[in-house]
Every structure is written in structure tokens, then in C-alpha cells.
Chains A and B, each alone.
Chain A
């Protein structure tokens, strides 16, 4: 399922990042966020604005369309 489908505050495991934009994937990799890491969806901004998630002890903001490309598995 997509990251943005998670209920805010719940944790899941990243299962796929291959659909995401190259630059963003690189930056997420820099931050240690790779397949297999735990991720927690936190909140989103109105009018289709960006959303915030937490992974590897770090809060990160990305756009909704990108968050849709992060696939996760609930444990």
C-alpha cells in the first residue's frame, strides 16, 4: 500500500522506492531512508499540499505525489 494511505501515527516498513523521482530517492538515501526501514506517516497539509513522515529518527517533508510512490507493508 502507499505511504499516504497509512493512518497518521502508525508505523510500517518501506517495501519499494523504485517509483520515486531519482533526485528524491537519492536524498532519501542520504538520510538513511531505504527499503526495509521503518516509517511513520505523520500529517499532511491541506489542498493537496506536502506531507510529513518520520523515519530513521528524522522528520521529513515531501510532496503528496512523491509520498504516493513510497510503498509500504504493515507489520
Chain B
């Protein structure tokens, strides 16, 4: 039998880092709350079994959607043991969750992380003593570097031999009485009934729903009601849930008195000093836009483009020539030769040349995520977001969406209020993902070479502005709901270069993979359409199926300034993946044989038309891979179709306005 372990812990305690170390796989790590929104399963090293990484949570009772995953997991899965990672510098609050886990009654091991941070704050912890008092193994680890992980593995391997520890706190007469009555009506499940009863009294919605389905829910509700009345009758306004928390806190404080040795309070930390600038009343917002501008400038002008040009020169020059020579030498039929040279190299190559920009952008996004700046951005942007019916936390999924819309849509789950969550999902396809970057890189490189960073930044800015406007419009049609905003500011960390590189690679890998599978397939298909026509094979491209089919679409987008069948077919294939816009243009213009792609595009578009085309590409449709992610989050096909529909209409409208205004102004 394989063992199954589950990993629990407060948000931002290094859970994902530990998961990666224990499983040897790589999952995404960040320095903000809510990096893991769904459980992830990994295979442990040394064939020990499997490890499930659950989203971070402070307490079992969920406030947001991602937090309910852990309780659901406990209720539905049969697993062997749990690992609880705790932050040594925040021991008091981390132990609250630990108690809830120990009450569940499965074998457990505690990984004590961030001892270095604690030490920096003058806190030292006696892990042996802690282990004795809680009656579970406590192992110091440094999850960022991997120290101590081996000991955790060893303990885990022997956990199954450890007798089930029984942990129980006395919550006082009234609550114990209610727990007793609840235990007696709980269904006959293979689970700790006391735990279920306590969670029920704390108001854990997942447990309440579970009881409703499988026990006498009326009686249970009556017991909880009676208890709450007893508490309400007392002088201090405190609920049963708060009392339970209070009892645990008292217990924790007694433990802390024995294991924690606190020296002089360290003077103002570096985080405080940085925050004095970053969250300054006046500097906060300008600083954020400044950082964004620097990132784009570095991405394009400093690093991305030079590398991109080298790659481009290589693909269109030596690589094409070599391949042609080799293919001719092998004597392959002209058809295959054309597929490879005009289809694959022109199409996929056209996308691959933008890998440098994507890597650099992802590198910076990872840097922001790992440094702790993300939470500050949420704080700084909250006022603006509040004005459109969202909260500052919604800004994080939107920034993630700059990388790729899919994780952006998923990150929306950390938002507490259902309305704000839905709104965030609805607007996230407007976020300019890295795939769209290929289109900007191509067009801005040709038409606005000098001001490339500025032009691209303007598109990102437009995407945020449009998202805000649409959020405002949608929220006017939605039920009013109180907006809440609480966010933790994690201490700044100097990002670990290895983590960042890994994270960059992890994100960019998807891009490269997509280019060599999805886009490759699409490219060959598009090339076939352009190669064949009613007149047979190897027809003039103007007479191909592609040209004929897309000529009928072209008039629709003609008022936006790009009514050619070439542009129309690029947009149609863009639904597959936004990079396909570039690969399709690559094939079409390569086949017409007028020199390089850049040159062909310079002749086919005016700068104004190019800008209008970029605006349209930015907004017009979520790509095929994003649609299921949206459907998963919004729940209904109707809302999904609505999301697609409004994007198309919005894109048309905005491009129209841009193009027509531009014409009037004489561009």
C-alpha cells in the first residue's frame, strides 16, 4: 500500500517550497497569500508515497473558496498522515491551525520553518520542548534552501509505526456539553467525531454542509443555537467560535512561555524601511507604474530585442538554408519540403523568436512575486479597485494574468466575496497575456521601433483601464454585496535566484511547449489551407481555401482598418492561441514570397492600422485554453459565452474608436 501524506500550513509559510523539496518536482512558489489555489499531488522521493499540497489556511473554517479545499480534503480522503509546516516567526497564530489538525487525530509531523527569520527578530525556539509538549515530532527546516528536509522524510517514513496520538483540549463546561450532544448524533463515519463536532460549532461551512447531508441536521442546528444563546447571554459579547479560539490561544500562550525565548525587540526592520517608500501616500502609485515601465523597457529595449533579432536572423537565414540543403540532399518531395520550410519554420519560428522577451518578462513577474511586493501593490491599488466594485486583492490575479490568463483566472479564488471573485474572473481575459506579447513585439518592432516599450506599455495600460471600466459596468448590474479587504504584508525577501529562474522556466516552458505542439499543429493546418484551394494543390495563395474563407470575414473588420483576408485569417487562428496570429502571418506572407515578414507587414499596414490591430488582438477573445478555465470558475455555459461575447464586442468598439479618431487626427 502506498502512503498518502497531506501538507497543511498557514499561507506564505513555505509550504510549496517544502512540497517541491520533498517531491523533487517543481510547483510554483511566491511570496504572497494564495499561491496554491487547488490541491496539487506529487510523488515523494525514495518511493515513500504521494504528497498532497493543500492551499494555505489560517484556520479550518474557510472564508474564501481556496480555503475550503483543505476541509473538503479531510472529509473526503483517506490518507496516512499529515505534515504541518509552521512559521517560527509567527508561532502563536500558526499553532492555532496545528491544534485543529492535531484534534483531527491522524499521525502528524511538524516542520518548523523560518527559524532564521525568527532569529533575526530575536526569537529562539526550543523545538525539542515543543515536540514534547505537543507530543508530535517537530523538525527544524529551511524550506528555501532545503536544509532539514531529509530528516522530515525519515520521520515520515516511520510515522506509520507511531501510535495515533490523541490530542484534546478542554473547552469548558458549555462547549464540552454541546460537543458531547453533537458527537452522539454524528453519522457513523470513520472519522474523529469530536473534531467534526468542534468544527461544526466553529461554523465551518464545509462541515455544516457535510452534517446537513448525513446527520440529523435540525438537532445539530438546535444544539449550536442553544450554545450560542448561552454565550450571547453573557456580559462579554463573544461567540462560541471566538471562545474556542480564545481557549486555544490560552493553551498556545502557555506553550510559548516554555519554548520561546525572546530577546530584545529588534529595531525597525528592513521591511519597515522599504515600506516607508513603497506604501507611501504619494509615492506608492507612481512607484508602481515606474517599476512596470522599467520592466517593459528592460524586456524590450535592453534585453529582449537584441536576442530576438539574433534568433530571427538565425531562423530566416542559416537555419532555412541548411534545412533546404539537407532536404534537397535527401531528395524529399517538394510538398514535404514546403511544409517544413514555409509552414513550420516560417510559422513556428515566427513565434519562437519572441522567447527572449517572454523569458525576461516572466523573470521580472517572478521577481515581483517572490519579493513580497505583490501584496503592497494590492494595498496601493485598493482605492482604485474599490471605485469599480473590486478590492485590491483582485489586482494580484490581474497581474498574474499578464503572464497567462489561466493562472490569473484561477488565482481569483483567493478573493473572499463571491461577487468580487466573479467580477475578477469576468475581466481577466482582458489582461494582456504573454502570448499577445508576440503580436506586439512583431508590430511594435516594425512600426514603433524607437518607442517600443512605451507603445507596449500603453497596451498594457489600456488592458487595465478596459478591465476597470468593464468591472464598473458589470458591478452596476450585480447584486450589492459588502466589499471586504484584509491583506497581509509578508516581510520582504531578497528573491532567491534559483527559485526565480525555476519559476521563470516553469512559466516560459508552457510557452515553448505550446509552440512546439499546439501551434505547430495549427500551423501545419493553416499552411495546408493556404497551399490547397478549389484549383488543387500548390495554388496561388490568393486562390487558396484560406484566402477564400477569410475574405468573407475581412469586410466585417474592415472598418477597423485591417480588412485584408490575411489579417482576418490571423485573427481567426488567434482563437487557438494568440501566438497563432504571428505564426499565421508568418506563413501567409512567407508564401507570397515578398521578402521578410517584417517587410511584408510594413507594406500591408499603416502605423495606425497596426495599432488598431494590436488593440483588437489585445481585447478580442479569450484563447481556447482559457475558455474552459473560465467555465470552471463561473460555473455556467451562459456566463462563459457572455464573457467571450462581451470581449468581441468591446474589442470591435475600442478598435473602431481608436482607428476612426486616428484617421480624423490625420495619422
A residues with CB within 8 A of B: 18, 21, 23-24, 26-32, 34, 42-50, 52, 56-63, 66
Contact = CB atoms under 8 A, between A and B. Distances in A.
Given A26-B61, A29-B245, A31-B93, A60 B275 contact: no
Contacts of A21: 482, 484
B150 interface: no
A57 B489 contact: no
A57 B114 CA distance: 14
Contacts of A57: 89-90, 121
Contacts of A49: 380, 382-383, 386
B487 A43 contact: no
Contacts of B282: 46
Contacts of B242: 29
B340 interface: no
B279 interface: yes
Nearest to B491: A59
A32 to B, nearest CB: 4
A46 B383 contact: yes
B419 to A, nearest CB: 13
B284 A45 contact: yes
B90 A60 contact: no
Contacts of A29: 242, 245
B396 interface: no
A45 B383 contact: yes
Nearest to B375: A61
B379 A45 contact: yes
A26 B303 CA distance: 47
Interface residues of B, number: 40
A57 B92 CA distance: 10
B163 interface: no
A49 to B, nearest CB: 3
Interface string B481-498: 010111111010000000
Residue among A23, A60, A61 with the highest chain B CB neighbour number at 10 A:
A61
A44 B281 contact: yes
B283 to A, nearest CB: 10
Contacts of B77: none
Contacts of B315: none
A49 B485 CA distance: 11
Given A29-B245, A58-B488, 11 more contacts: A18-B237, A24-B486, A32-B90, A42-B279, A45-B284, A47-B383, A49-B380, A50-B382, A52-B275, A56-B92, A60-B488
Interface in B390-420: 392, 416
B293 interface: no
Contact of B486 (A44, A46, A60): A60
A48 B90 contact: no
Nearest to A64: B383
B378 interface: yes
Contacts of A23: 63, 416, 484
A61 B485 contact: yes
Contacts of A18: 237
Interface in B59-107: 59, 61, 63, 89-90, 92-93, 96
Nearest to B482: A21
21 contacts: A18-B237, A21-B484, A30-B58, A32-B92, A32-B249, A43-B275, A43-B280, A45-B382, A48-B383, A50-B392, A50-B485, A52-B275, A52-B379, A57-B90, A57-B121, A58-B90, A60-B487, A60-B488, A60-B489, A61-B375, A61-B487
Contacts of A34: 245-246, 249
Given A24-B484, A24-B486, A61 B379 contact: yes
Nearest to B282: A46
Interface string B371-384: 00001001110110
B661 interface: no
A27 B57 CA distance: 11
A66 B482 CA distance: 12
B281 A61 contact: no
Nearest to B265: A57
A19 B58 CA distance: 22
Nearest to A52: B279
Contacts of B592: none
A42 to B, nearest CB: 7
Nearest to A29: B245
A23 B281 CA distance: 27
B341 to A, nearest CB: 56
Contacts of B552: none
